[in-house]
Amino acid sequence: MSRQGPMKVLVTGGSGLVGTAIQQVVKEEGRDGEEEWIFLSSKDADLTNCEETLAVFHKHRPTHVIHLAAMVGGLFKNMKYNLDFWRKNVFINDNVLQAAHEVGVVKVVSCLSTCIFPDKTSYPIDETMIHDGPPHQSNFGYAYAKRMIDVHNRAYFQQHGRCFTAVIPTNVFGPHDNFSIEDGHVLPGLIHKAYLAQKEGKPLTVWGSGTPRRQFIYSLDLARLFLWVLREYPEVDPIILSVGEEDEVSIREAADAVVESLGFTGEVVYDTSKADGQFKKTASNAKLHRYRPDFQFTPFRQALKETCDWFVANYDSARK
């Protein structure tokens, strides 16, 4: 989408995994004089609160918004807190999109996830299938809350002509992730567990069978694509941001890659009493490829090595 005048971009959730990656890419690729960027954390406003949300939007009066703020977590946190995932995310999304509308924001790019797609489906999954059937039961609270952003977007367009859209990334990883063993996603969880196991001379325990399959996207690649979506992508309909179907890996392969990246030398065991979650959610990146045939993803092993190196170098201050 082309536009006149400078953009003032407000990033909700600007302090998280994806938000800090966008901060880094803006430093490298930002357009001085054409774009001003403001990164919010929960300290600036609790976005579950309507008044605080409106106040922060009135304070900054953005022309554009990247909406990342959300209650986020891996499989095991989702299984425990479906109600909180549903309520918090529904409140945050309704408050943010309505505040954006009220201050006249030209474009909002929100963030969905491939884990919101139907559990029983054909593969590869594409953008048209979001509402085609129930999500996996492990994360239905998060999934339905995120699906409703797509409903918001279509309704803001229909009723007010707003260009509110969304991206659909796969499982994200990178520096500044949440490396909590209990609550985080699989790669940061395994990195933290392997780091401790190496230090303590203990085995690394991978949860579940290791057979489920996932597509992983490096936070810095996602951040670059976010900038493109904000500046150029013209549709209200969402777009999947994913590596190719051929780059999907099993959890076992992902664990092996963590072992190699960290130089872990101990035994690796699988705790099959723990849940596997959704077996796979193989997503098509055909739409992305049509728009951006030139885009090069960082090779998985390289991105994982950079993430492990960051975690080791920042162990004391990392979120865990």
153-212 residues near ligand NAP, rule: CB under 6 A: 169, 171-172, 178, 185
CA 173 distance to own-chain centroid: 8
Residues 6+ positions from 32 with CB-CB distance below 8 Å: none
271-310 residues near ligand GDP, rule: CB under 6 A: 274-278
Q: How many residues bind ligand NAP (CB under 6 A)?
A: 26
Task: Tell me if 62 contacts ligand GDP by CB under 6 A.
Answer: no
Pick what 268 binds: ligand NAP, ligand GDP, none; C-beta below 5 to 8 Å, kind-dependent: none
Task: Tell me if 135 contacts ligand GDP by CB under 6 A.
Answer: no
CB of 5 to ligand NAP, least distance (A): 28
The closest alpha carbon to 50, from 104, 108, 86, 102, belongs to 102
142 is catalytic: yes
Per-residue contact string for residues 287-306; x = within reach of ligand NAP by CB under 6 A: --------------------
The residue count for the chain: 320
User: Catalytic: which of 81, 123, 142, 233?
Assistant: 142
DSSP-based three-state secondary structure for 123: coil
Q: What span, in angstroms and rounded, lies between the C-alpha atoms of 210 and 274?
A: 11
Give yes or no for a contact between 136 and 278, defined as CB atoms under 8 angstroms apart: yes
Per-residue contact string for residues 7-46; x = within reach of ligand GDP by CB under 6 A: ----------------------------------------
What residue type is assigned to position 116 of the chain? I
Give the pairing of strands 249-250 and 213-214: antiparallel
CB under 6 A: which stretch of 22-30, 69-77, 232-240, 271-279 binds ligand NAP?
Answer: 69-77
Burial class (CB in 10 A: 0-12, 13-18, 19+), 130: buried
DSSP-based three-state secondary structure for 26: helix
Give yes or no for a contact between 241 and 284, defined as CB atoms under 8 angstroms apart: no
Residues binding ligand GDP (CB under 6 A): 74-76, 115, 171, 185-186, 189-190, 193, 206-208, 212, 214, 251, 274-278
Residues binding ligand NAP (CB under 6 A): 13-19, 41-43, 46-48, 68-72, 92, 111, 113, 169, 171-172, 178, 185
